[in-house]
Amino acid sequence: MSLIQVINPNTSLAMTETIGAAARAVAAPGTEILAVCPSEGVPSIEGHFDEAIAAIGVLEQVKLGKAQGVSGHIIACFGDPGLLAARELASGPVIGIAEAAMHTATLVATRFSIVTTLPRTLVIARHLLQQYGFTHHCAALHAIDLPVLALEDGSGVAQEKVRQRCIQAKREDGSGAIVLGCGGMASLAQELTKELGLPVIDGVSASVKMVESLVALGFGTSKHGDLDYPIEKALSGAFQHLN
């Protein structure tokens, strides 16, 4: 039995439920999903400032997850906030949904497109493409020009914009796969894959299968080198609880 912690780094309970449902839909028998979010922080993550705040919440949740005996952790925000810091803190594997989705796309296509929320977040995706070594695999990036929480307002407008952008990407980019650039889009992947006739990849689902595989292989985060546990030192003030 594996217990996988899926961390929504923003404080939206509705989005946490969406992400948790997507994770459970692909989890293998015997895998339990623990979907969580911080109680304090930002309601949505749409820039560098938001990511910096959200990273602290991610670390808090990783520490709590370790205490609960989870097998691995997923950071369910497309910016992968706090990923390397979380890997230092964790013993099990830690997967960010952007990294997982990009890796998955390269396994099924030579080129992929990304569809995300606000245009200002495109630079974050570009930075991650460079960091992960996938720049030459990405044909194009698209934004629906709506905020993250529009995916949870019940109107369906954001979901339809995602659909239209995916259709556009297939028509114009020459990509073999499309990556959904927001954890809040997780529930759209299967339907869009069927409609478009190409892989539409949700990083939440991809991350679940990666964590399951790493756990089955007996691999945790390497503690040889820079991802060793943080050097022990006295944290002060608001950060004391991370000691």
pLDDT tens column, 192-233: 999 999 999 999 999 999 999 999 999 999 999 999 999 999
Q: Give the containing element (helix H, strand E) for 102.
A: helix 97-108
Structure tokens at 187: 């529930």
pTM: 0.97
Mean pLDDT of 37-49: 97
Spatial separation of the C-alpha atoms in residues 147 and 129, rounded to whole Å: 22
| pLDDT at residue 1 in the model | 82
Cβ atoms of 15 and 118 within 8 Å: the answer is no
| pLDDT at residue 243 in the model | 80
Cβ atoms of 85 and 150 within 8 Å: the answer is no
Mean pLDDT of 26-42: 97
Q: How confident is the model at residue 238 (pLDDT cuts 50, 70, 90)?
A: confident
C-alpha distance from residue 2 to each of 23, 115, 147, 191, 213 (Å): 13, 31, 34, 28, 11
Mean pLDDT of 107-112: 98
Q: Is the pLDDT of residue 175 over 90?
A: yes
